[in-house]
Chain A
Amino acid sequence: MAIALAASCVIAASLAGAKADDEESPSAATIRTALRQVPGQDSPAPSLFPELVQPFFERHCYDCHSGDSAEAGVDLAAVTSQDDIVREPRRWRRVQTMIATGGMPPPDMPRPDPDERSRVARWLEETINAAICSGPQQPPRVTARRLNRLQYVNSVRDLLGVELKVDRLPPDDVGYGFDSVGDVLSLPPLLFEKFLGAAEEAAAACSVPDGIQSGAISQEALTAILSEFMTRAFRRPPRPDETARLSRLLQRLQEEGATPEDAYRSGIVAVLSSPHFLFRLEPDPPDVPPDTVRPLNDFELATRLSYFLWNSTPDAELLELARQNKLRADLREQVDRMLADSKSRSFAHDFAEQWLQLRNLDQFQPDSNRFPGVDDSLKAAMRTEAVLLFETVLRDQLPAIRLLDADFTFVNRRLAEHYGLPGDFDETFQRVSLKNSHRGGVMTLAGVLAVTSVPTRTSPVKRGKWIMETILGTPPADPPPGVPLLPDDTEPNVTGTLRERTERHRKDPNCAVCHQVMDPLGFALEHFDAVGRWRDQDGGLPIDASGELPDGRSFRDADDLKQLLAQTSNAEFIGCLTEKLMIYALGRGMTDSDHCWVRQFVASCNTETASIREIILAIVESDAFQKTVTAGSPADPEKQQASTVFQSTTVAGFANR
């Protein structure tokens, strides 16, 4: 691959007509079953339709889905070529999902050959994706996002200089792996009470501007001071009716006998409990028609930026640039300034912990007989190690791919003992070289190895799945229902290594489809036990960490796998990391448009050298980040078309069977 300039990583998605696309359904996201190359924009071979897909339909679908009385109004016998699919790709997504997840054909019908099923599903998926990406793209509307607890606490710190404890607020719900997703950030009464209590605590602790304490201040002056506070807290200047409302509140408080200081502190409580502070809102301007793409105004953009990179409210410089409408002109400089600011540690820590799923360490309780001494301080050290690694790769602008094969890490005494690293360490974390070590990169972090284990043993399946969803962005399909877990080795009649016991996965072709990828990836890490320590044996037998992927790539052990992935799967990795960062930044799941954009981005950049900073810059400059769409029922791009395949206007009944 030619060395691309950093700037070439930045692309702008085209924005032709205004057509909304569907949020990708979660099952569609989980059906990208195998390791695949990052696809280009080209449709897969049309010839496979008559050779592979049509015969499959004929054998497995026509019985019910053909003719005028086709089940659910889906007539697959009416499909004659790939073009029929390209014409209405979104409707076909449902068909593809049913085939890929095994929902169809139904259980009482003959089962298709798993390999054939997965080839059909993949061909359909690629056809659908290519068709959608060649069409017009537009960003979706983002639901008003409540500040999550980290963002709330950081914002209060930056607004008032008061440090509140994060755990005085309950943990936020998670969507798509992150706790910044608007649709799941609800505001039950319980939480509102806590916000109110937190605001009272902050207002009681904050310093009061001169003149207020003495009481020598006019109502107007007090309103002006609080109106300035509103600008910072609402991340935009207050409107006249908002200032008037605040002024009436202050009036009422003083009539009730509050001193100016009491009134000031109550004003702070009111502003911090207002929906304009608690929610990140992007209301439609009155003069823009419904369902129209519009660029965010500078204040909205500053807000997205600062909650992405700082998990906090915009500072004076961002607000000033927004006021002058100069933020876009200065965007790259601002991103660099923000990343250089220590406030960006909040982003690095929060993102890395969630991306790598390390928050699950809290709930992980290894069997204390087999793994004594795994306490909260060790778990905390595991989390710290991970975030320091991510932060260093970010800050030093190393190629992001070094996250997979870094030759350094960070340990304190507790973790160094756990890893068996020689040397003198204390409570503070030190960077150590891992040259000539089996460790290095996110896959061999103790925290990752632990959260992908069960209490009594390692779980190569969980580890393989973790690699597929966290590193490669190709989460495996869910297992069919009723599948038993592996027996525990404390049970009688269980002999051999875990690998020997797991070979069952290969014997059943329905399991093998996914496990032939998942299992070898996971077994590569078998030299690391359930709490992440190195070992040479399992069950008294030497460990075999070698494996081969279905596409023929083979490896000897974890070291070899890391090199292999860094060299031959770097495009998947950069695509996956970009997706995770987008979900985090945008607070919503990925849409079809987003996937199209990620493909273009990955294709345009040098995935061996691209840094996290470059990915962040590209996201920040993308339409998805810079634009939104006004409310209104989006036109269904396929609604007006006459369809020979889908006889009813909706295929919902098909999916809900």
Chain B
Amino acid sequence: MTGHRISRRTMLRGLGTAAALPWLSAMARPAAAASQSAPLRMLFMYVPNGVRMQAWRPTQEGALTELPPILKPLEPHREYASVLSELTLNGARPLGDGPGDHARAAAAFLTGAHPKKTGGADIHNGVSVDQVAAETLGKETRFASLELGVDPSAQAGACDSGYSCVYSSTLSWRSPSSPLAKETNPRAVFNRLFGDAQARDAGNQPLLARRKSILDFLADDAASLRRELGPGDRRKLDEYLYAVRQVEQRLERVEKENRLFAAGIEPPPEVSRRAFSDRLKLLMDMIVLALQTDSTRVITCMFANEGSNRSYPEVGATEGHHSLSHHERNPAKLDLIQKIDTFHVEHLQYFLDKLFAAEDGEGRLLDHCLIVYGSGISDGNRHNHDDLPILLAGKGGGHRGGRHLVYPKETPLANLYLAVLNLAGIPETKFADSTGPLEGLIG
């Protein structure tokens, strides 16, 4: 193996954070401790540009006896993982809108919707599954959900064939017109979760009271303004009011849970935007922290924005990922694609390792998670949105791993989401284009 192994430095750094955790988990897991059984956590992880399907899809249906090359890194957690084949994301197809498969793939991935083709006016998509879950699972935590990713939104030009960049860079949509921007800096995630300011403020009653007064003022202000506006502007005010309520809710919990913030965990180091692997691992460290402290139960994370042309010199891919994904069946390019895919899965492994190592209630954190990992594109060269590479990991809700489940062709990906919502005890009967909950995940 060459230099694309987890660097020793990162490993140590990761361990350093983890070492602080047993203390934390003993001291500060208020919500989890309150309810007897550990809560279910739901996570969604996205990789762009599809994968090399021949090296992803297991050859045999049923028991996962032999992991395909890309999934090899997951060997230690084989019993926790199911590969789900033949799931389809119909909303990502053109349906008369022409090119733009990358933008649509990311936008539709968690919404199952067909995003409106627009460079900016009236962006319109569907509500994403994580946000449906957050409505219920987010009630008891400081953060209803967290949205994370390595890349910030693109900052110039058009992203994909007449689609606003927001589509390629956002998985989570709270409403059809409210995309939820990602946090991309691990340090900022930490500060948001446990930052100095929060630690300092937690015991400062006058300050908390003052903040509450200000938020009340703002809510009044916005409510009175909202009555004067037309429908388009009212949507903007609704976003605002929702944000105010979220911060209010958090303030209340800070008071209840202020022990949490005295913990004094070391914040992660700042890393450069181009240090992909370090950055992604640190983000995953933050996810583990957020879950262990029960700060949130719903998280989305984009390994890269859809259509990303990042090069991966770590595995010898000096050409961009998107360029390579148009491989024309060229074996050299396919090999590089496979190396990138495997590299991504190694990061998933890093994450699963940590969830496996973390105690949670009467088991491990990984026992109480449901993690959907995959892409909204199957083969990057064909831009097809059927037979997607989708993996479900974790034993949350009774999911039984270690299997390769093959569904009838054209089974909506939304069926998986409906099943996952149901496993979390959310009694939805329909999500996007679902035709019924995906069967066979438990038992």
Residues of A within 8 A of B (CB): 23, 25-27, 29-30, 101-103, 141, 143-144, 146, 170-177, 179, 181, 183-184, 186-193, 196-197, 241-242, 245-246, 248-249, 252-253, 256-258, 262, 266, 269-270, 273-276, 278-279, 281, 283-284, 353-354, 357-360, 362-363, 365, 367-369, 454-456, 478-485, 487-488, 491, 588-589, 630-632, 655-657
B residues sitting closer than 8 Å to A (CB atoms) are 94-101, 117-123, 144, 147, 151-159, 161-166, 169, 174, 177-181, 183-184, 192, 197, 206, 209-210, 213-214, 216-218, 220-222, 224-225, 228-233, 236-237, 239-240, 242-244, 246-247, 273-274, 309-311, 313, 318-320, 323, 326, 328, 330, 332, 381-383
In the complex, what's the smallest C-beta–C-beta distance from B2 to chain A, in angstroms?
A: 16
Residue of B119, B320, B382 with highest tally of chain A CB at under 10 A: B119
What 10 new A-B contacts, CB under 8 Å, besides A186-B239, A482-B381, A588-B121?
Answer: A30-B162, A177-B156, A186-B177, A273-B214, A284-B230, A354-B156, A478-B162, A481-B383, A483-B326, A657-B96
A contacts with B: majority SS: loop
User: With the chains together, A370 CA to B240 CA distance in Å?
Assistant: 48
Could you write out 6 A-B pairs with CB less than 8 Å apart?
A187-B236, A188-B147, A360-B155, A362-B155, A481-B101, A482-B383
Closest 4 A/B residue pairs (Cβ): A175-B120, A631-B230, A26-B162, A192-B243
Chain A's closest residue to B273 (CB) is A362
Set of chain B residues within 8 Å of A245, measured between Cβ atoms: 217, 220-221, 224
A645 to B: closest C-beta gap in Å: 19
Contact of A186 among B179, B192, B220, B246 (CB under 8 A): B179
Q: Which of A183, A197, A266, A276 contacts B123 (CB 8 A)?
A: A183
Residues of A within 8 A of B311 (CB): 365, 367, 455
Contact B98 A454 (CB under 8 A): no
Q: Do the beta carbons of A631 and B232 come within 8 Å of each other?
A: yes
Partner of B229, one of A26, A273, A283: A283
Given contacts A170-B152, A176-B120, A186-B178, contact A102 B381 (CB under 8 A): no
Which residues of B sit under 8 angstroms from A187, Cβ to Cβ?
Answer: 236, 239-240, 243
Indicate which residue in A173, A270, A485 contacts B165 across the interface (CB closer than 8 Å). A173
CB of A494, distance to nearest CB on chain B (Å): 11
Cβ contact within 8 Å between B381 and A103: no
Which residues of A lie under 8 Å from residue B121 when comparing CB positions?
23, 175, 183, 588-589
The distance from the CB of A20 to the nearest CB of chain B, in whole angstroms, is: 13
Let me know if B214 and A655 touch, CB within 8 A.
no
Question: Which residue in A365, A478, A589 is a CB contact (below 8 Å) of B120?
Answer: A589
Q: Is the CB–CB distance between A25 and B319 below 8 Å?
A: no
Q: In the docked arrangement, what's the CA distance between A357 and B100, Å?
A: 20
Given the complex, which residues of B lie within 8 Å of A491, measured CB to CB?
330, 332
Asked if B164 and A175 sit within 8 Å, CB to CB, the answer is: yes
Q: Is the CB of A26 within 8 A of B117?
A: yes
Q: Which residue of B lies closest to A282 (CB)?
A: B233
Within the complex, which residue of A23, A184, A188, A478 is in contact with B99, where a contact is CB–CB below 8 Å? A478
Is there an interface contact between B165 and A174, defined as CB atoms closer than 8 Å? Answer: yes
Q: A141-B232, A484-B381 are in contact. Are A266 and B210 (CB under 8 A)?
A: yes
Closest to B236 in A: A144
A181:B181 contact, CB within 8 angstroms = no
Interface centre among B161, B228, B273 (most CB of A within 10 A): B161
How long is the Cα–Cα vector from A32 to B232 in the complex, in angstroms? 30
Contacting pair A256 B209 (CB below 8 A): yes
Contacts A183-B123, A656-B95 known; A367 to B318 CB distance under 8 Å? yes
| Contact between chains at B153 and A171 (CB < 8 Å) | yes
Tell me, in angstroms, the Cα distance from A356 to B135 when the chains sit together: 42
**Cβ–Cβ < 8 Å partners of A359 in chain B:** 155-156
In Å, the complex CA distance between A310 and B165 comes to 25
- B residues less than 8 Å from A363 (CB atoms): 151, 154, 309-310
List, in ascending order, chain A residues with CB within 8 A of B163's CB: 26
The CB with the most chain B CB atoms within 10 A, among A26, A266, A354, is that of A26
Q: Which residues from chain A contact B210 at a C-beta distance below 8 Å?
A: 253, 256, 258, 262, 266
